[in-house]
Structure 1
Amino acid sequence: MKYVGYYNGEIGPLEEMKIPMLDRAVYFGDGCYDATTFAHNHIFAVKDHVDRFYNSCRMLEIPFDMPRETLVNELQKCIDANEIDHGMLYWQCSRGTALRAHNFPPADVTPNLMIFTVPCELVPMDSTFKLISMEDTRFLHCNIKTLNLIPSVIAYQRCTEAGCQETVFHRGERVTECAHSNVLMIKDGVLCTPPRDNLILPGITLKHLLELAEANGIPTREAVFTMDELRAADEVIISSSGGLCIAADELDGNPIGGKDPVTLKKLQDAYTAFYEKDTNY
């Protein structure tokens, strides 16, 4: 199988898997998820992603009590069922299966676990992205990786229609993040990111970039920056599980970045080496 599906212990071809109509993920989006890549049949940064997943469950008060080791084993089963040795791994937990009601279901209703793997190639490091920008009208819990992603879906559709690869969100002039990525910038040799507060997802790739920068002598700063500061940045970086450290060269039709390729390349090379080591390349 190249597309593997899993639901509460059952594994099969993704296109043949079924979930109950009364799963609360269906009618409320009542759940959370995480995703990462795998290579050489190894899950990339598994501890970081699993930790964030359990933190999302905690913040949503979902009683997902499967031990971490057991969850990792179930994720690995799906990878091992693949015909290919690299791709994208996605998993989500819903609050359970019950008749539709806004309050939490009875205590004997247990969470549902869904997993799937699909073929996926990392975005090449020498790619460049074109961006558009939109006012960030999402709610105030963007630090939780919930299933409620409609504003991000619409924002990504707008950038796709514009022939671009990401949408930068901003609240007023404050830059937050992108439709499904984090956004960073390099200015005067410093790697800058917006604060990891409730207005952005604490990206695992973002976390790695900050750690790798420090390890390679690149200063970092975690503080608010504006759209004007982003436009004036020496480099603009888009980071996600599928595109680890990708430079952007256009925002709303105007050129950006391209002024500090040395620091950018140092970060990209460091991430490539880190990824290969973590996945036993």
Structure 2
Amino acid sequence: MKELAYYDGTIGTPDELTIPFNDRVHFFGDGVYDATVGGNHKVYLLQDHLDRFYSSAKALDIKIPMEKEEFGELLTRLLSMVEGETHFVYWQVTRGAGTRNHTFADDMLGKLWVMIRPNRLKDPEVPVSLITREDTRFYHCNIKTLNLIPSVMASQKAKEAGAEETIFHRGEIVTECAHSNVSILKDGIFYSHPNDTMILRGISKTHMISACYRLGIPVIERPFTLSELMDADEIIVTSSSNFCLHANQIDGKPVGGKDPKNLLLIQDEVISEYLAYTGKKSLFD
């Protein structure tokens, strides 16, 4: 199978599956999701992503119809059914199906969705351009909710500006990107926004911080400003489907490029972890 879709026990292609009209996702975006890379038919950092997925669901009182271990086994089995060596693995749970009503029954059981398709990781040696935008999202950014309209609009603005990603900020404080985390290197120190309710706890960012510790690069998790962002030696953008990209332009102004040694050390360490986990020989095979 070239591309797989799963809904509530049914497996097919995305074109074959149908979703009940009364699934609450249609009316309220009522659900949470997670995603990662599949390499060599292994779901990368599966346990980390499952932990975040189940935590997001618990925060919204959504009842996932499988225990964590069983669902992890299902994801692994579904990935084995798809052709290729590198994949985008996405899953979500919606609160369930029922007559449209803002309130929901206490015993409502969630509906699981999975989508797996071929993927190609971006080359971390190629710099990316970014734009900035005021963060007007709600105050539960730590929950990986399906309500992504602000992120969709910000991503579209980046596309229209010829950029790859949008950096959100609340006033002068940088939070995260539309669908990534952003961190900086300055004077040999790695700075990143703490894991509070203003950002989603990025699993790739968490593992990049661990890589910094292994490399002896000091880490400070604190909010940083737009001025600090623009003055950083390197600006690093991370997500579960693209590791450790670096920026050379923000809002049309040149940035970064002043600490390539530490940047390369971090990139190599992060990529080595991925290759060791998946058993792949190259990031792009």
| TM-score, reference length from structure 1 | 0.98
Match of 1:240 in 2: 239
- Matched residue, 1:16: 16
**d(CA) in 2 for partners of 1:89, 1:115:** 8
Is the contact between residue 182 and residue 235 of structure 2 (CA under 8 Å) also seen in structure 1? yes
Aligned to 1:78: 78
Q: Counterparts of 1:15 and 1:182 in 2: how far apart (Å)?
A: 32
Kindly indicate whether the alpha-carbon contact (under 8 Å) linking 2:233 and 2:257 is maintained by their aligned counterparts in 1: yes
Q: Aligned residue for 1:92?
A: 92
Using the alignment, how far apart are the partners of 2:92 and 2:163 within structure 1?
28
Q: Tell me, in whole angstroms, the C-alpha distance in 2 between the residues paired with 1:269 and 1:260.
A: 14
Code of the residue aligned with 2:238 in structure 1: it is S
CA distance in structure 2 between the partners assigned to 1:3 and 1:50 by the alignment: 22
1:173 is matched with: 172
Of all paired residues, the percent bearing the same amino acid is: 44
Amino acid at match of 1:80: S
1:44-73 CA distance string (max 9 Å, x none): 000100000000011011122511111011
Matched, 1:116 2:115: yes
1:147: which partner in 2?
146
* Shift in Å, 1:137: 0.3
Q: Return the alpha-carbon distance in structure 2 between the equivalents of residues 247 and 274 of structure 1.
A: 18
Q: Is the 8 A contact 2:62 2:109 kept in 1?
A: no
Secondary structure of 2:248 counterpart: strand
Which runs of at least 4 in structure 1 moved beyond 2 Å after TM superposition? none
Matched residue, 1:264? 263
Q: Is the 8 A contact 2:65 2:112 kept in 1?
A: no
> Distance between the aligned counterparts of 1:154 and 1:121, measured in 2?
24
- Alpha-carbon distance between aligned partners in 1 of 2:30 and 2:221, rounded to the nearest angstrom: 31
Listed as ranges, the matches of 1:124-273 within 5 Å are 124-273=123-272
The answer to whether the 8 A contact 1:78-1:116 is kept is no
Give 1:61's aligned amino acid: D
Equivalences for residues 29-40 of structure 1 within 5 A: 29-40=29-40
Does 1:6 find its partner at 2:43?
no
Q: How many residues align?
A: 280
SS in 2 for 1:131: strand
TM score, norm. by length of structure 2? 0.97
For structure 1, list consecutive stretches of 5 or more residues without a partner in the other structure: none
Per-residue CA distance 1:6-31 (angstroms, 9 max, x = gap): 01111111221111111111110000
> In the alignment, is the contact (CA less than 8 A) between 2:185 and 2:191 conserved in 1?
yes
Q: Distance in 2 between matches of 1:40 and 1:240?
A: 19
8 Å CA contact retained: 2:141, 2:197:
yes
Amino acid at match of 1:173: E
Amino acid in the other structure paired with 2:185: I
**SS of equivalent residue, structure 2 residue 114:** strand
Question: What are the superposed Cα offsets for residues 43-102 of structure 1, whole Å, 9 maximum, x if unpaired?
Answer: 100010000000001101112251111101111122111022221000000110001100
Offset from partner CA, 1:91-146 (integer Å, 9 cap, x none): 00011000110012352x31100001011111111111101100000000000000
